Structure 1
Amino acid sequence: MKQVFAVSAFALSVIHIGAVAEPLKIGAIFPLSGANAQFGANARNGMELALEDINAHRPAGDKVEIVYADVPAPNGAAAAVQRLVSQNQVVGIVGSFVSSITLAASEATERLGVPMITHSFADQITGRGYKYIFQVAPKASTFGEKQFSYAVDLAKQAGTRIEKIAIFYEDTAYGTAQADGIRKAAARAGVEVVIDDAYPLGITDVAPLINKLRRSKAQLVFPVSYFNDGILIIRTMKQQKVDLPIVGGAAGYIIPDFQKALGPYAEDVFSIAPANYDNVPELAARYKSKYGAFMAHESIMYGAALQHMVAAADKARSHDPAKIRDAIAGLKYCEGLATGIPGGCTAFDANGLTSTAYPIFVQWRGSDLVSVFPKATAKQAPRWQGKEIK
């Protein structure tokens, strides 16, 4: 039976008395340049907010340091991991948001015996039998399943029976895995998938997809995209008066720049999400004061990942990556940014997948995202085609 450790702030202060005095270095691999740089910046901001709280409660000489590596594409991931471990002596890695980069990075962390905690969704991440990789969010197929079932449930509450849907997805590990979850959920529910189209990441012309959608008689559309592709799909739909409920696949649909780019076109767009800032209002207020925007989901998830890794190192009383890995696996951490994740904690099953977190639905209201489903986590009532569901 797996042993579970619950760590309190008091316990951490006691542990620190005997901790190693040299800094605890954590590596952070993110796309800080290129097309996905905004996700990397948001994740970094969340980690820096978490780091403030971590170091505020540690004695002098026992601080935590984050060493960042800019990795905008998978082909640079392994070298970045090697460099962080051999040159910077990091004891663990956090990153990288983009599933394909995380898959490449985790090949290296597994080989080197260094723990890695990610918020990337792809099923393969914890589906390979690796010992050193952990996911704080549910896997992509679970997001796809809930993306479908939550939408159908809300449509039913609004008096609409869903019989036909459309799926657009970018052809990366994240897009294909999440689309597969939607597809399988629709099959189980007897709902026809009238469009099931992959497209290349960074597509520049979505007009053929939207024209196909217009002719399809779909009642719902599920675009699984990163930021730029999602913006292009939604804008083209709205400009061509294709008025269907839209259920985004997290990623680019739930960051502040989505609404900035689309303005009124963003209103009432749904998305599946691993977390939302309205569940931790005090931390969200601190974040907004510091960074001038709401706290995106990746800020919450990666800040929580950092806190989990540091708490595990403290529990292990060691800078040995193997011992920290074992402590990560056995720790249930329910403080700080972890309280902003549905389920309220970070913890992992035997495969390294979260054992506590679950997806939620968020919906755009002006420049804010609000949690609307399931009811237990909702902060406001959902709206379907402009009408509030009581």
Structure 2
Amino acid sequence: MKTLFAVPAIAMAMSVAFVTNVNAEVLKIGAIFPLSGANAQFGANARNGMELALEDINKNRAAVDKVQLVFADVPAPNGAAAAVQRLVSQDGVVGIIGSFVSSITLAASEATERLGIPMITHSFADQITGRGYKYIFQVAPKASTFGEKQFGYTLDLAKQAGTKIERIAIFYEDTAYGTAQADGIRKAAQKAGVEVVIDDAYPLGITDVAPLINKLRRSKAQVVFPVSYFNDGILIIRTMKQQKVDLPIVGGAAGYIIPDFQKALGPYAEDVFSIAPANYDNVPELAARYKAKYGTFMAHESIMYGAALQHMVAAADRAKSRDPAKIRDAITQVRNCEGLATGIPGGCTVFDANGLTSSAYPIFVQWRGADLVTVFPASAARQAPRWLGREVK
């Protein structure tokens, strides 16, 4: 796909407006997140992580060289382009971080590409860095990789527990994130010769999952892979538990690995697995600071977006410029292995020629009471995994 865009009149006006900000010393970074609506908790967690990172970033910077975050509430894709335009033309940001929700990131990155503004995201969808764009960067692996590892780690753990997996079920929301990650699970299962007995998409915000769970009960699946955001995931797990459908559950990150998951489900959350891009037990000192400040554990999006901000600022410092094109080039050259980046498996933020992370890899986490613990692979594990209540060693 071509990466050259015809620049509309509004973009030209913005480039003129931006010139007045190029020589400003304060480094303004835009942040596009759903701070209201169904995914507001993810936005709040990301904001908290970025603000924690900002404390460290600004600690030793001169007053005229401080970094300033400018937030925009974008709960749906149709507001993304306007938010980008407003941040650039009115606020003079030189880079953008966001947006957690893949469909919003896809829409926002069309605008950042057109305007020549670098954007770093933690969103998973394969298309984000699969379009040949120059200005978008993914700090986490793509969704199909998460799906592939979600399946592969499950097979490895089951084998260690003495179980051979022959049949699985996949439930996934019909969004960019859900379809891409489910495709990774599906292809990995086909390659391994494992039968996918249920392969069902459902609409985001589903209100009745009973038909899905009834189908699951009849399917003879040995493991279920629900790929969903928070509200849908809660409904699926609660309905399974209430109907005594007792299977290993392997969530698809997102809503399965935030504090509210356990708060909503209580004992039903116990031992639920999820794939994850990072976990707070890998950075205990930073996690303790976060918990003292915000009263809860540091969610994965807090880690990933805090690290994304640190990388953006490191790139601007390397470029010694407020020119977005120069910052974009510096993003490709920076390898940041400090701060919140150390909480990402692989320990750094660094990008390949397509803008995709070249160091990060997924991990498995599992619920233990009110905490998430990293349990797989062995190189990253902090505790032993449990399979159907039995510890696997």
Shift of 1:60: 2.1
Partner Cα separation in structure 1 for residue 309 and residue 23 of structure 2: 18
Structure 1, unmatched stretches of 5+, are: 1-18
Once the two structures are TM-superposed, the CA of residue 21 in structure 1 deviates from its matched residue by 6.4
1:182 aligns with 2:185: yes
- CA distance in 1 between counterparts of 2:65 and 2:120 reads 22
Quote how far apart the aligned CAs of 1:71 are.
0.1
Give the count of matched residue pairs: 372
Separation in 1 of the partners of 2:230 and 2:236? 10
1:249-268 superposed Cα distances (whole Å, 9 cap, x missing partner): 00000000000000000000
1:41 equivalent in alignment to 2:79: no
1:97 aligns with 2:100: yes
The RMSD of aligned alpha carbons is 0.8
Amino acid corresponding to residue 384 of structure 2 in structure 1: A
- Aligned-partner Cα distance in 1 for 2:147–2:175: 15
Cα separation, 2, equivalents of 1:250 and 1:289? 24
Q: State the Cα distance separating 1:98 from its structure 2 match.
A: 0.1
Q: CA deviation at 1:186?
A: 0.1
* 1:353 and 2:350 correspond: no
The one-letter amino acid of 2:80's match is A
The aligned runs of 1:104-143 (5 Å cut-off) are 104-143=107-146
* Alpha-carbon distance between aligned partners in 1 of 2:24 and 2:249, rounded to the nearest angstrom: 52
Deviation at 1:20?
Answer: 6.6
- Aligned 1:284-303 pairs, distance under 5 A: 284-303=287-306
* 1:126-275 paired onto structure 2 within 5 Å: 126-275=129-278
SS in 2 for 1:68: strand
The one-letter code matched in structure 2 to 1:82 is Q
Give distance in 2, aligned partners of 1:33 and 1:377. 34
Distance 1:55 1:227 in 2: 33
Please name the residue that 2:87 is paired with. Answer: 84
Distance in 1, Cα, partners of 2:65 & 2:295:
30
TM-score (norm 1): 0.95
Q: What code does the residue aligned with 1:117 have?
A: I
Return the letter of the residue paired with 1:346. Answer: T
Q: Which runs of 5+ in 2 are unaligned?
A: 1-21
Using the TM superposition, give the Cα deviation of residue 59 of structure 1 relative to its aligned residue in structure 2, in angstroms: 1.5
* C-alpha separation in 1, matches of 2:325 and 2:141: 24
Letter in 2 for 1:201: L
Could you give the per-residue CA deviations for residues 212-245 of structure 1, whole angstroms, max 9, x where no partner exists?
0000000000000000000000000000000000
Shift of 1:337: 0.2
- Is the 8 Å Cα contact of residues 71 and 80 (structure 1) preserved in structure 2? yes
| Cα distance in 2 between the residues matched to 1:61 and 1:47 | 20
Structure 1 residues 381, 388: CA separation in 2 closer, same or farther (over 3 Å shift)?
same
Query: 2:375 aligns to what?
Result: 372
TM-score where L is the length of structure 2: 0.94
Deviation track 1:99-124 (CA, whole Å, cap 9, x = no partner) reads: 00000000000000000000000000
Q: How does 1:293-372 map to 2 (within 5 A)?
A: 293-372=296-375
Aligned to 1:22: 25
Structure 2 residue 59 is matched with structure 1 residue 56:
yes
Hey, what's the Cα distance between the residues in 1 that align with 2:335 and 2:188? 30
Alignment of 1:279 with 2:282, yes or no, is: yes
Query: Percent identity between the aligned chains?
Result: 88
Say if 1:20 and 1:62, in contact at 8 Å, map to a contact too.
no
Q: Determine helix, strand or coil for the equivalent of 1:198.
A: strand
Deviation digits for residues 315-363 of structure 1 (CA, Å, limit 9, x no counterpart): 0000000000000011110000000000000000000000000000000
- CA deviations 1:161-202 (Å, max 9, x no partner) are 000000000000000000000000000000000000000000
Q: Distance in 2 between matches of 1:236 and 1:329?
A: 45
